[in-house]
Amino acid sequence: MLAKRPKETAKVVLLELSRIEPSPFQARRVFEQQELESLAGSIRQNGLLQPITVREVRKGQYQLVAGERRLRAAKLAGMTQIPAIVRPCDDLASAVLGLEENTQRRQLNCFEQARGLREVIGMWGCTQGEAARRLGMAQPTLANKLRLLALTDAQQQLCLQYDLSERHARAVLALDDADKRTRALERAGTGKLTVKQTEQLVQQMLRPPAKPKRTLLVRDVRVFLNTVNHAIQVMVQAGIPATATREDRDGYIEYVVRIPTDKPHSLAKPG
């Protein structure tokens, strides 16, 4: 994902854990306790097979660059010292190296990746296009990852809770309303919707609600009776001997209309 950079001078040393401070550029926020305990058990049995990476920030004091999970597991394993690669680098290089390792090891979720990328871009002070070039990424890929940060923290947590993919998260961004985004994520999660099904759900939510059909309410039946009478008058004026009889019955009015059909009737000629 990230562009290759020239190798820098580095050395491996054994450092006291108390001399290593956490990285202020750590993008990863979620550390599964069960995974850490499993790694700690492996460290107790086999030792730490891969050193962490640090940089010296003050005389005899170091800051973590990469290997947060290994550092935490080493503390759980009861280690007081840890093998570390000391790499000379500035803040920007430290942030990029940490992001690179976490991404390549698939230790970051999509939101942590997006936050890490945003931080690196901010430190570079460049456009997305330039940042994509430096990081060896396609610009649309970078832009799509940064778009994920439009979701609120609660919405991001829903994605993680329901194990929704990055594409699920991007699908709901088509909804402008925050409440609708939340509802869409909850329905996608609880219903175990595929990405395509989630996209279809979002399209349904984007459609304007159907307007209720207007029902003409006329309480006075005389309007309709006048219409019938008028129709009979028109037929008679046209030369059709139509007739209508009306009977008022209990609860309703009965109309009987008779229109002869035995022979054609010519229209009355104007006088």
The mean pLDDT value for 203-227 works out to 76
pLDDT at position 3: 44
Determine contact, residues 91/123, Cβ cutoff 8 Å: yes
pLDDT at residue number 46: 64
Which amino acid does the sequence have at 147? Answer: R
Point out the least confidently predicted range of 21-30, 76-85, 231-240.
21-30
Token look-up 């050193």 returns: 51
Domain boundaries, given as residue ranges, for the chain: 1-107
Catalytic status, residue 186: no
CA distance 60 to 16: 10
pLDDT at position 112 is: 84
Tell me the average pLDDT across 167-192.
96
Integer Cα distance of 258 and 268 in angstroms: 19
Indicate the pLDDT class of residue 67, thresholds 50, 70 and 90.
confident
Q: How confident is the model at residue 2 (pLDDT cuts 50, 70, 90)?
A: very low
CA–CA distance, 261 with 62 (Å, rounded to integer): 107
pLDDT digit string (tens) for 222-236? 777 788 888 888 888
Terminal Cα distance for the chain, rounded: 93
Of the residues 8, 56, 68, 119, only one is catalytic, namely 68
Q: What is the mean pLDDT of the chain?
A: 82
Higher pLDDT, 89 or 148: 148
Question: Among 32-41, 164-173, 176-185, which stretch is predicted with the lowest mean pLDDT?
Answer: 32-41
Average pLDDT over residues 198-204: 97
**What does the buried/exposed string (b/e) look like for 3-16 if buried means 16 or more CB atoms within 10 Å of the residue's CB?**
eeeeeeeeeeeebe
The Cα 130–Cα 127 span in angstroms is 5
* pLDDT of res. 216: 59
What are the tokens at 71? Answer: 């550092």
Confidence (pLDDT) at 243: 85
In CATH, what is the architecture of 1-107?
Alpha-Beta Complex (3.90)
